[in-house]
Amino acid sequence: MVDILDTVDRASLAAFDDIIDVRTPAEFALDHVPGAVNLPVLTDIERAEVGTIYVQDSRLKARRIGAAHVARNIAAHLEGALKDKPGSYAPLIYCWRGGMRSNALATVLSQVGWRVTVVGGGYKTWRRHVTAALYNAEPGFKVVLLDGYTGSAKTEILGRLNALGVQALDLEGLAGHRGSLFGALAGRPQPSQKLFETRLLARLDELDPARPVVVEAESSKIGERMVPPTVWKAMAGAPRIELGAPRAARARYLALAYGDIAADREALCATLAKLPGRHGAKRLAAWRGLARDGAFEALAESLAEHHYDPAYERSRRAESRPSLGVIEMDSLEPDAQDAAAAGVVRLMSAMGAAP
The alpha carbon of 42 is separated from its chain's Cα centroid by a whole number of angstroms, namely: 27
Contact 153, 245 (CB under 8 A): yes
Please indicate, yes or no, if residue 321 is contained in any of the structural domains. yes
Nearest alpha-carbon partner for 183 in 192, 173, 193: 173
Assess if residue 339 is contained within a domain: yes
**Bridge-partner residues for 313, per DSSP?**
none
Last residue within a domain, chosen from 73, 108, 131: 131
Domain identity same for 103 and 165: no
How would you label 47-70 residue by residue, b for 16+ Cβ within 10 Å and e otherwise?
bebbeebbeeeeeeebeebbeebb
The reply to whether 355 falls in a domain is: no
Q: 170 and 198: one domain? A: yes
Query: Which of 50, 62, 95, 109 does the annotation list as catalytic?
Result: 95
Do 103 and 245 fall into the same domain? no
Q: What's 312's domain CATH number? A: 3.40.50
The domain in which residue 102 lies consists of 2-131
Name the nearest CA neighbour of 146 among 325, 282, 339.
Answer: 325
Q: Specify whether 257 is located in the same domain as 302.
A: yes
pTM for the model stands at 0.92
> Looking at the structure, do residues 182 and 300 belong to the same domain, yes or no?
yes
Q: Based on the fold, state whether residues 227 and 326 are members of the same structural domain.
A: yes
Whether residues 112 and 154 fall in one domain: no
- In tens digits, the chain (355 residues) has pLDDT values of 899 999 999 999 999 999 999 999 999 999 999 999 999 999 999 999 999 999 999 999 999 999 999 999 999 999 999 999 999 999 999 999 988 999 999 999 999 999 999 999 999 999 999 999 999 999 999 999 999 999 999 999 999 999 999 999 999 999 999 888 887 877 789 999 999 999 999 999 999 999 999 999 988 999 999 999 999 999 998 999 999 999 999 999 999 988 888 788 888 888 888 887 678 888 888 989 998 998 999 999 999 999 999 988 888 887 778 889 999 999 999 999 999 999 999 998 876 666 6
- Identify the domain boundary among 131, 158, 193: 131
> Based on the structure, what is the number of domains in the chain?
2
Identify whether 269 is a catalytic site residue. no
Residue 253 covered by a domain = yes
